[in-house]
A = this chain, B = another copy of it.
Amino acid sequence: MIGALNHVGVATPSIADSIKLYRDVLGATKIGEPFDLPAQGVKVCFIDTPTAQIELIEPYDETSPIVGFLAKNPKGGQHHVCFEVADIHAAVAEMRAKGVTLLGTGEPRIGAHGTPVVFLHPRDMGGVLIELMETPKGDH
Residue numbers of A with Cβ under 8 A of B are 1-6, 8, 10-12, 17-18, 21-22, 25-28, 49-54, 73-78, 81, 83, 94-95, 98, 100, 122-128, 130, 140
Bound-state Cα–Cα, A129 to B70, Å? 16
A51 touches B6 (CB 8 A): yes
The minimal Cβ–Cβ distance linking A127 to chain B, given in whole angstroms, is 4
Q: For the complex formed by this chain, how many copies does it contain in all? A: 2
22 A-B pairs with CB atoms under 8 Å apart are: A2-B27, A4-B51, A5-B8, A5-B51, A10-B126, A12-B126, A17-B126, A25-B95, A25-B100, A25-B124, A27-B94, A51-B51, A51-B52, A73-B127, A75-B127, A76-B127, A77-B122, A77-B126, A77-B127, A78-B78, A78-B81, A78-B128
